[in-house]
């Protein structure tokens, strides 16, 4: 069953964000993931304005593959740099 990683974020260091984006995309693809969406939140339908104005959705074939990517040695340095480049909230869902 596919799994979807969802991230809401605010860029705090544009140059660091720009430098890590291509490495993130390559690591994601190598892990079997793909980007379904990445861009600004178009409109808030319920609740207050988002704390993080950008959103991304990444698809993996399985929950196990998504978790393997997130916890991998390859993603670890990208994750550390991402935390310097952006404030974010990330979660994962699995389809039934």
d(CA 96, CA 94): 6
d(CA 28, CA 66): 9
Domain positions in the chain are 3-42+52-94
pTM score, whole prediction: 0.88
d(CA 41, CA 47): 13
pLDDT tens per residue across span 28-61: 999 999 999 999 998 889 988 778 999 999 999 9
d(CA 63, CA 49): 30
**Domain 3-42+52-94 class in CATH:** alpha beta
pLDDT tens per residue across span 51-89: 899 999 999 999 999 999 999 999 999 999 999 999 999
């Amino acid at each position: 069953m596919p799994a979807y990683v969802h991230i809401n974020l605010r860029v705090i260091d544009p140059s660091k964000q720009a430098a890590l984006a291509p490495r993130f995309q390559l690591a994601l693809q190598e892990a079997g993931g793909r980007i379904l969406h990445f861009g600004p939140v178009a409109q808030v339908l319920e609740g207050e304005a988002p704390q993080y104005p950008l959103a991304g959705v990444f698809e993996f074939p399985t929950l196990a593959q998504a978790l393997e990517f997130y916890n991998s040695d390859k993603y670890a340095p990208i994750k550390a740099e991402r935390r310097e480049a952006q404030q974010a909230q990330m979660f994962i869902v699995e389809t039934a």
